[in-house]
Amino acid sequence: MTDSKRSIILHLSFIAVLALVFFILPDYHTGNLARIMVLAIFAMGYNFLFGYTGLLSLGHALFFATGMYGLGMTMQFFDLSSGSAFIAGLICALLVSAIIGALALRTVGVAFMIITLMFSQAGYLIILYFGEYSRGDEGFIIAREARAFMGFDLSDETNRYYAALILFSICFLVIAKLVNSPFGRTLIAIRENEERAKMLGYDVAKYKLIAVIISGVVSGAAGASYALLFGYVGATFATVQYSIFPLLWVLLGGAGTTIGPFIGVLFMFYLIDLSSVVTPAYMLIAGVVLVLLTLFAPQGLAGELRKRVFKWLP
């Protein structure tokens, strides 16, 4: 069996397992999984830029929040339907990521990391400044009756779970296709040796900008779907921690692997959840485990599996 066929079977089997576990797991865990799948979309967007292109960003909270507020504000002030508002969120994320990408890519290395962080913080401050409309840190709730799509009430647990699964599956398969395409191979070549890619005639600046836009739109889709499925929009999601989280998820799961972002989100979510039952100082336990994983599994959980067992793992 070729590596390509194995990859297809892996991705489809993984989606099938997620579809089936809804009928097996208790409500508490299926509710968690719906949230994990949405956050995994955010992590996949980040992984596309960091894991495959080699660009370390500390500003992805801006893209997540742009998608979230793009959906939430258009529903609140323009009375758009959920579908139209979701598209509006994606358009907002596309525009913001294109502008930020065009400006930030004038820098390299640490400077790129810092300038993306600065843009993200500027976005957070804008949300607070226009608190009269955005409701700032307090945020606002999207009415339950507005959270419907094609007749399905997305506040219902079953509908919410499968809506999250459908969006996760689309992003999962599209990104898997992209990274295995000539475009994705070019991004990997840029990550491995940018100067050589330039010598081969590739327009590195163009490829990087496209990667930033794709990453921003996927992250924006995660933000928009989070607002729609869980009914809340708030400035918390634009803070620095939501730029750090996707980096941690990707590093834990395995940068440059398609399945790594989900594994990273799942692992960290339940690590914090279970640690909080043991002690109020749950972040201490989480921190120790994260340090140990970084030391003994530097390529992440999926990365180590690829290195040691499944060489074909995408």
Q: Is 91 within the bounds of a domain?
A: yes
Q: Is 156 within the bounds of a domain?
A: yes
The DSSP string of the chain is --HHHHHHHHHHHHHHHHHHHTTTS-HHHHHHHHHHHHHHHHHHHHHHHHTTT----S-HHHHHHHHHHHHHHHHHHS---HHHHHHHHHHHHHHHHHHHHHHHTTS-THHHHHHHHHHHHHHHHHHHHTHHHH-TTT-EEPPGGG-EETTEETTSHHHHHHHHHHHHHHHHHHHHHHHTSHHHHHHHHHHH-HHHHHHTT--HHHHHHHHHHHHHHHHHHHHHHHHHHH-EE-GGGGSTHHHHHHHHHHHHH-TT-SSHHHHHHHHHHHHHHHHHHH-TTHHHHHHHHHHHHHHH-TTHHHHHHHHHT-TT--
* Residue 137, CA distances (Å) to 81, 94, 244, 273 in order: 25, 24, 19, 24
pLDDT (tens, 9 = 90+) of the chain, 314 residues, equals 676 788 788 889 999 999 999 999 999 999 999 999 999 999 999 999 999 999 999 999 999 999 999 999 999 888 889 999 999 999 999 999 999 999 999 998 899 999 999 999 999 999 999 988 988 888 999 988 889 888 889 989 999 999 999 999 999 999 999 998 999 999 999 999 999 999 999 999 999 999 999 999 999 999 999 999 999 999 999 999 999 999 999 999 999 899 999 999 999 999 988 888 888 887 888 888 888 888 888 888 888 888 777 776 77
Q: Is 159 within the bounds of a domain?
A: yes
Q: Which pLDDT score is estimated for 296?
A: 85
Q: Is 125 within the bounds of a domain?
A: yes
Determine the Cα angle at 119 with ends 299 and 217, to 5°: 65
Q: What is the total count of domains within the chain?
A: 1
Q: Is 82 within the bounds of a domain?
A: yes
Q: Is 263 within the bounds of a domain?
A: no
Q: Which pLDDT score is estimated for 314?
A: 74
Domain that holds residue 21: 3-240
* Cα–Cα distance for residue pair 140/137, rounded to 1 Å: 9
Q: Is 280 within the bounds of a domain?
A: no
Amino acid, res. 263: I
Q: Which pLDDT score is estimated for 276?
A: 85
* Cα–Cα distance for residue pair 69/82, rounded to 1 Å: 13
**Torsion sign over Cα 291, 297, 300, 301:** negative
Q: Which pLDDT score is estimated for 85?
A: 95
Q: Which pLDDT score is estimated for 219?
A: 97
Q: Which pLDDT score is estimated for 64?
A: 97
Give the tens place of pLDDT for each residue, 94-133. Answer: 999 999 999 999 998 899 999 999 999 999 999 999 988 9
Q: Is 296 within the bounds of a domain?
A: no
